[in-house]
Structure 1
Amino acid sequence: PKGAFEELDKFRKNIPHMCGEFWCGWFTHWRDEKWGSADWERQKKELQWMLENNKSFNLYMFHGGTNFGFYAGANFSDKYEPDITSYDYDSPLDEAGRPTNKYWEIREMLSKYQPEGTKLIDVLEEVKFIEIPVIRFSKSANLFTNLPVVIKSVQPKPMEAFDQNYGFILYRTKLIGPNSGTLKVTELNDYGLIFVDGKYIGTIDRTKKENSIVLPKTEVDNPVLEILVEGMGRINFGQQLIDRKGITDRVTLGGVTLMNWEVFTLPMESKYLSKINYNDIDTTIAPKFYTGTFTLEETGDTFIDMSKWNKGIVWVNGHNLGRYWNVGPQRRLYCPAPWFKKGENEIIVFELHGKNAEEIKSYKFTN
């Protein structure tokens, strides 16, 4: 901050100095090798300098918290970089609001600059954590048999064109004529699963700069192509702010533009979730919902361990905890105490690569 304040003084002299965003950590993207952080030893020296020189500052973040639901953002450097669900940010208070070592060090620094006769307020009691019972699923529902009302569209359009803001969107068309070769999606935002006649072919992943996939030969006449797209978070900084989700441009197979699409919007809201028709679990590979219940005698915060699953979303008692993805680095989803209740609780998992349902446990982080 010292250099920035000196530069400011060249243009506006004799004004109070305030560092509006003093970054005490950093955010984390999916596929990052490790969690975001900052050079804390350097930052401590900078904080000390501001305190000694009567500068004001705002800690970003003091408590980062969680990107619940579909609200995680994204960045764009040379590629698309979606944020993980956690916004822990290596903050003085961790994702669950618990003081970290960084918090205690900052508190000690501030205590030396209190006005005479005052003291820092007491720290609240430690956050109560619980472990939930192991959850084993016996019911599932195939997404393709639980679709909303169809929308007809000559060309695929982004979800915003259908008054949808977030979630998933499914595009379906028949392959008339050639039905194999390179399928190219001019702009797929952000993660797409490709199916032909219900058979899973593979993915197109924006984080890997992908925009095409090869469809194998099939003997079926006029097979059905389905592309399920997940919007993984809008870019919130820089030059790529207009960031539409779904398929924003044409789709071609062997260079030929595919026309006449059926579109299904899937914002995954509570009304839709309440109407899902569950059956006994099967082993077909398809996007699936899994539902189960567990009983609690007391409530508290917890982290739900999704490390055995692939990619999807978790709801607890109707509350969307956010995305999980086995590419890491995040493996567990935070659930605050108010979203649990004494007695029976419901959990729903939407797994994009559903086959077998793994059990779910909680993970009791110690600070």
Structure 2
Amino acid sequence: MQRREFLRLSALVPLGALSSRLEAVTLPAPGAEPVPDGRPHRFAFGKRAFLLDGREFQIRSGEMHPIRIPAEYWTQRIRMAKAMGLNTVAIYLMWNALEKEPGEFDFHGGNRDFVRFIQLCRQEGMWVYLRPGPYVCAEWDFGGLPPYLLREPDIRVRDKDDPRYMKAVARYMDAIAPRIAPLMAAKGGPILMVQVENEYASFGGDLAYLEKIQAMWRERGIEGPFSISDGLGTIQKQKTYLPGAALGLDGDTDFAAAQAIAGEMPVWVGEGYPGWLTHWGDKTFQRGDYAATLKKLMRERRSFNLYVVHGGTNFGFGAGANADADYGNFEPAITSYDYGAPIDERGEATADYRQFRQIIGDYLSRALPEVPAAPPAMRVAKFELKPHASLWDNLTPDPKTLEDGPKANELLLGQDHGLVLYRTMSKRGGVLSIEGVRDYATVFGAGRYLGYLSRVQKPGVSDAKQIAVPEPQAQDGDAIEILVDSFGHVGYGQAMADRKGIVGEIRLDGEPQRYWSVHGFPLDETFLASLRPLSRAPERPAVFFKGSVTLDKTADTYLDMSGWDKGYVWVNGHLLGRYWRIGPQQRLFCPASWLRAGENEVLVFDLHRTEGGAIEGHERLHG
């Protein structure tokens, strides 16, 4: 999911047509709703309605993503959705979390076991609306597509006529379809419906592409029913409604206009937004107001999917980004995916949750389950981190050599995330200008830090386009070094070739600089394990800091990074995500399952600091 502000507003405008007397309306008792019980159930499309075992069925769905939730908390989050009055959980599958390299799938590591998550939904009496992609958006890195695709210089993603992309899609489907098929409702599982791709109209207008994806699912034993989900305006413009599919509206409730597109097929709210995403540099965390819309949907017995009922966290390198079609106006998502959701980042009920539970409960004819308790949280006293290793002491011994200007990480190094260093030798100083910084560059001349350039243009971020490089001094050497840090790949709209590193010219006093040696730093487990520790105090930034904290017990906590600048945090080897002084996020969620009683190791990489500092833990994201 990732649409622009006008879609958000269409979902959040209060519906003045609702009269106060509707507050007291109770729906006619529909009888006991079927629940997944291991027996085959028939989910089908009637005339403008969903049917379950031959009776009209209201999907009351809330979205959450297993990859964004520690596996230990899956059951609690599912129970929270059920206690709010929902009967379905919507799930995105992020392809790139399951296949990081071509043909190398991981369906069990960490929180990747989506089959187990779906089975837990069944055990808890919840149906599933499955959204497996291949593209999902979701504010996730590259919209869920594997960044290894970008190693092909001219690849066209989401295009049925690019055989390289379609071969990768087929490999992905071959791997997951056998895991999905037994979980369909017709086979006794909880999956009611499968979405075909996602929000395709925001990207293209080739209906045959959607038809091809649907056919590929059917060839692999996934018979549907199928849905699509899109913005009403974009699908009207692109004419990409998939015949025979349910039509999910994203951020809209104009059912009449949508029904004119879908004919007699069901129309529902495929994504209704009780909150919204937050980008680095936003003034505050985004929120929403969905109560009036939810009342309308319940009164009219409209099916809906709340995006999201629980957001979770963009752990690791998971956070994606937005950009305009020309790759400008770049806006990376923060590490927290709290989203202003009814169930907050660590599984606690918010004021919206309680309000929504009341609204849904008033229209149902039965009592709702008790609200589960949130996992315990704790404060962690301040602990110190000291300089541990310098990036400059850990350069790769065999850098790549360029003779025709810089190239992107993916094309040159096959590196999807992390840092890359471009280094050249110059006998003179001058004005250095860099085109196509993706996404944040710190610049050094003769071993001295000179400044930074940022693709993100927000308050508190320098808008400099060039940096003065002094004349080199003999004792310092004559290297010009550009260290580039990346955010997530753009995952929405037209800017889907968002390669990282430097993708344009580098000039010194207007003269292109062609010759560069390039070092990659993927910041992965192998790289971190090989770090060479400092033998002296660091002289320039790009430093790893290490510390430990001893705990008597474990519980969820938020590590406060407000005293630091920009970088990454690992706890006992787990990458919590990115931090940045510009906010609005200053605290990173650390689940209890990543901590242990006794000593815990914390590693921080900061692009700007050379001196150590303190970190403490809090019970909440805010305040």
SS of 1:207's partner is coil
1:215 to 469, 477, 487: 469
Aligned match of 2:602? 347
SS of 2:453's partner is strand
- Aligned pairs for 1:66-145 within 5 A: 66-77=313-324, 79-114=329-364, 116=365, 118-145=366-393
Aligned match of 1:57? 304
Structure 1 residue 280, shift from structure 2 partner: 6.7
Structure 1 residue 210, shift from structure 2 partner: 5.0
Which protein has the bigger strand share?
1
Structure 1 CA distance, aligned partners of 2:528 and 2:452? Answer: 25
Structure 2 CA distance, aligned partners of 1:24 and 1:235? Answer: 23
Judge conservation of contact 2:387–2:538 (CA < 8 Å) in 1: no
Structure 1 residue 51, shift from structure 2 partner: 0.7
- Aligned pairs for 1:322-341 within 5 A: 322-341=577-596
Which protein has the bigger helix share?
2
**CA shift digits 1:248-270 (9 cap, x unpaired):** 12211112121221111111011
Judge conservation of contact 1:133–1:295 (CA < 8 Å) in 2: no
TM-score relative to the length of structure 2: 0.56
Aligned match of 2:419? 168
Judge conservation of contact 2:558–2:621 (CA < 8 Å) in 1: no
Structure 1 CA distance, aligned partners of 2:315 and 2:471? Answer: 41
1:356 is the counterpart of 2:604 = no
Aligned match of 1:301? 556
Residue 199 of structure 1 aligns with an amino acid whose one-letter code is R
Judge conservation of contact 1:140–1:280 (CA < 8 Å) in 2: no
1:194 to 443, 459, 473: 443
Structure 1 CA distance, aligned partners of 2:420 and 2:588? Answer: 24
Judge conservation of contact 1:138–1:281 (CA < 8 Å) in 2: no
- Aligned pairs for 1:185-264 within 5 A: 185-208=434-457, 210-220=464-474, 223-264=478-519
**CA shift digits 1:61-103 (9 cap, x unpaired):** 1111111112211112451111111111000011111110101
SS of 1:28's partner is coil
Residue 331 of structure 1 aligns with an amino acid whose one-letter code is Q
Structure 1 CA distance, aligned partners of 2:527 and 2:261? Answer: 56
Residue 340 of structure 2 aligns with an amino acid whose one-letter code is D
Aligned match of 1:12? 262
Judge which range, 334-343 or 215-224, deviates more.
215-224
SS of 2:359's partner is helix
Percent identity (aligned) = 36
Structure 2 CA distance, aligned partners of 1:139 and 1:223? Answer: 26
Q: Which has the higher contact order (CA 8 A, sep 6+)?
A: 1
**CA shift digits 1:95-143 (9 cap, x unpaired):** 11111010111111111222x4x43222222221122342112342111
Aligned match of 2:170? none
SS of 2:382's partner is coil
Structure 1 residue 181, shift from structure 2 partner: 2.0
Judge conservation of contact 1:298–1:342 (CA < 8 Å) in 2: yes
Structure 1 CA distance, aligned partners of 2:568 and 2:478? Answer: 29
Structure 2 CA distance, aligned partners of 1:286 and 1:301? Answer: 31
Gaps of 5+ in 2: 1-250, 458-462
**CA shift digits 1:308-334 (9 cap, x unpaired):** 001110000110011111011111110
How large is the Cα RMSD of the aligned pairs?
A: 2.0
Structure 1 residue 366, shift from structure 2 partner: 8.3
SS of 1:353's partner is coil
Structure 1 CA distance, aligned partners of 2:255 and 2:516? Answer: 57
Residues 139 and 366 (structure 1), Cα distance of their counterparts in 2 relative to 1, 3 Å cut: closer
Structure 1 CA distance, aligned partners of 2:272 and 2:591? Answer: 27
Aligned match of 1:268? 523
Structure 1 CA distance, aligned partners of 2:611 and 2:387? Answer: 11
SS of 1:138's partner is strand
Residue 252 of structure 1 aligns with an amino acid whose one-letter code is R
Aligned match of 1:46? 293
Aligned match of 2:547? 292
Residue 100 of structure 1 aligns with an amino acid whose one-letter code is T
TM-score relative to the length of structure 1: 0.93
Judge which range, 96-105 or 212-221, deviates more.
212-221
